[in-house]
Amino acid sequence: MTRLPSKRHFAILLLFPGCLLWSASVLAVEKVRVMALFADKAMLQIDGKQRLLRAGQKSPEGVLLVSADANGAVIEVNGKRDSYSLGSQVGGHFAQRHMAEVKIWADNRGSYNTMGSINGRMVDMLVDTGATTIAMSEVEAKRLGIPYRIRGETTGVRTASGFAKAYAITLDQVQVGELALQQVEAVVVEGNSPHRVLLGMSFLSRVKMEHKGTLMVLQSKF
Q: What's residue 124's pLDDT?
A: 94
Per-residue b or e along 37-67, where b marks 16 or more CB atoms closer than 10 Å to that residue's CB? beeebbbbebeeeebebebeeebebbbbbee
Confirm whether 32-84 and 101-220 share one CATH topology: no
| Integer Cα distance of 84 and 108 in angstroms | 37
* Per-residue pLDDT at 185: 96
Q: What is the mean pLDDT of the chain?
A: 82
- CATH value of 101-220 in 3.40.50.300, 2.40.70.10, 3.30.420.40, 2.50.20.10: 2.40.70.10
Give the CATH class of 32-84: mainly beta
CA distance 99 to 85: 12
What span, in angstroms and rounded, lies between the C-alpha atoms of 92 and 206?
Answer: 26
Query: What residue segments make up the domains of the chain, in order of their start?
Result: 32-84, 101-220
| Selection from 186, 178, 113 nearest residue 146 by Cα | 186
User: What pLDDT is recorded for position 10?
Assistant: 37
Residue-wise pLDDT for 80-128, tens only, equals 888 888 776 666 444 445 567 889 999 999 999 999 999 989 999 999 9
From CA 83, how far away is CA 92, in angstroms rounded? 17
DSSP of 102-146 = EEEEB-TTS-BEEEEEETTEEEEEEE-TT-SSEEEEHHHHHHHT-
Q: Cα dihedral sign for 19, 20, 23, 29?
A: negative
Strands 197-199 and 41-46: what pairing?
unpaired
Type of residue at 77? V
CB atoms within 10 A of CB 185: 16
What pLDDT is stored for residue 196 in this prediction?
93
- Spell out, as residue ranges, where the chain has pLDDT lower than 70: 1-28, 78, 88-99, 222
pLDDT of residue 172: 94
pLDDT at site 85: 80
Q: What is the pLDDT of residues 195-204, one digit of tens each?
A: 999 999 999 9
